[in-house]
Every structure is written in structure tokens, then in C-alpha cells.
Amino acid sequence: MDLSFLPAVNAVLNATAGVLLVRGRRLARAHRIDAHRRTMLAAFAVSSLFLLLYLVHKASRGFENTTFNATGAARTAYLVLLASHVTLAMTVPPLAIALVTLGLRGRIARHRRLARWAWPVWMYVSVTGVVIYVLLYLLNPAPARSEVRAPAASPWPSDSRAIPGHWPGRERLEDSPGGCYYPAAPNQCERMRTRAVFDRAAFEVVRGAHGGEAETTTAALRRPDPRFGDPVANRPDPDGLEPD
């Protein structure tokens, strides 16, 4: 299910919560208590819906974060903004629940004392939520192109006929004592030899294309090799050191 629309919905919810918070504060100062209560309950509901949809969107993406691609001072400012937003956002749910509970129970004095510093926190989180959406989804610069690395040298010889009896993967078995890079690792030697068998089979196909004896990959795999024993049975013979 495509939930890419949720960030925009969440930004609208944050903006709506901010408007309701401003409206509720004005109603409280005008002593319109019933209207203030309804407005603040609406702000609480909108913020709760935002939190639910935010978690749904994060879960749908495996909690992967969207990267802000700016650099320098712009990125630093964004990270400071994001850190303050996330830190204060974690305090909003308990603060909002406490404010609503105190207001509904008629504990007006405690409600007002808490609202003096809880309201600015709630308001800041709502506004910065919209700002972060705009930065990430509307003003986010394109990611910088990563450096293009030169391709690694191909292990295949330019002319297979110039190196008789050579195939890619042979050096991997001969570069170190014991026939593999990590002789102490469990099954490492066997894996390396098995990989070299398949490398040799593929190389035989290429050699056929260069004018040698053409054979299929299956035929190349089934032809016994004294270096590796019987590749079909996947039972390498460490005693054989030279290919035929």
C-alpha cells in the first residue's frame, strides 16, 4: 500500500493543531471557557491523529528516515531544528493529557500553571513539524552525486589463448598456504575451491568462444579436474595442484 501521501497529511494536521492552539489561547483570555474547552479538545484530537498517522508512516517504511541533503550551515541549522523538535515532541503527549485532564476535572489553577509553559512547547512542536515537512519534501535539494569509481580490472585475460591452463579464480587458491585465504575459517577452503570450479567452467565457455573447443557450462562443470576432484559431487581434492 502506497502511504507516501501521509507526510503531507501530517503537515496539515500539525498546521491545524497550531491554529487551534492559537484560537484556544485567545478564547481562554476572553474567558469563553466552553468555547476554549471545545477548541482545545479538538487540538488534542488532531495532535493524537497526527501521532497515529506518523507512526503508521514510519512503520510502513521500516522506520527509515528521510535525509535532508543540504550541506554546511543549512544542514547544521536543520539538524538543530530537528533535534529540538524531536526532543520537545516527546513531552507533548503527557503534557497535553495532563492539561486536558486538569481542565475537565475543574482544577483550573493547576491547569493554568501548567499551560503557561506547556502551551508554548505544544505550539513549537506543531509549527516546527510543518517547517520540517517543507524542508524535507518541498525544499530538499537533490542528493549530491557520488563519485564515479573506475571499474575494477577484469579478472578475465584479454586473450584466453595467450595463457594456456589459466582461468580466473586460480590465484585465489594459490596465493596463500593451505589453498585459501582463511584456512582457519570453517568450510572456507571448500567454498573457495567450489567457487573456483565454477569460475573455471565459465572460463572454458569463453575460451570456446575465442576459437578453442566450444562446450557448454554444464559440460565444463561435469568434466573432472585433477585440481579439484569431481566438481559435480562438490568434493574438492586438495592434492591436485595443476589443471589439465
pLDDT at 177: 43
For residue 111, give the C-alpha cell. Answer: 491547569
Q: Is the pLDDT of residue 127 over 80?
A: yes
| pLDDT tens digits along 75-95 | 999 999 999 999 999 999 999
pLDDT at 190: 53
Provide the CB-side half-sphere exposure for 99 (13 A, CA).
27
Ramachandran category for residue 216: left, alpha or beta (phi over 0 → left; psi -120 to 50 → alpha): beta
Task: Identify which has the larger pLDDT, 220 or 182.
Answer: 220
pLDDT tens, residue by residue, 202-222: 555 555 555 555 444 445 445
Average the pLDDT over 30-53 and give the result.
97
Mean pLDDT computed over every residue of the chain = 76
Which DSSP string do the residues of the chain spell out, in sequence order? Answer: ---TTHHHHHHHHHHHHHHHHHHHHHHHHTT-HHHHHHHHHHHHHHHHHHHHHHHHHHHHTTTPPPPP---THHHHHHHHHHHHHHHHHTTHHHHHHHHHHHHHTT-HHHHHHHHHHHHHHHHHHHHHHHHHHIIIIISPPPPPPPP-PPPPPPSS-S-GGGSTT--TTHHHHHSSGGGSS-TTSTTHHHHHHHHHHHHHHHHHHHHHHTTS----HHHHHHS-BTTTBBTTTTB--TT--S--
Q: Which residue has the higher pLDDT, 235 or 67?
A: 67
pLDDT at residue number 2: 87
β-bridge mates for residue 225, sequence order: 229
What is the value of pTM for the model shown? 0.60
Amino acid 207: pLDDT: 54
- Report the sign of the C-alpha dihedral through residues 52, 56, 57, 63, in that order: positive
Q: What is the pLDDT of residue 165?
A: 47
For 142-173, how does the pLDDT look when each residue is reduced to its tens digit (9 = 90+)? 887 654 454 555 444 444 444 444 444 444 44
Range with top average pLDDT, 9-18, 55-64, 140-149, 181-190: 9-18
pLDDT band at 21 (very low <50, low <70, confident <90, very high): very high
State which fold the 6-138 domain adopts. Answer: Four Helix Bundle (Hemerythrin (Met), subunit A) (1.20.120)
In sequence order, the β-bridge partners of residue 229 are: 225
User: Does the pLDDT of residue 131 top 80, yes or no?
Assistant: yes
Residue ranges of the chain that CATH labels 1.20.120.80: 6-138
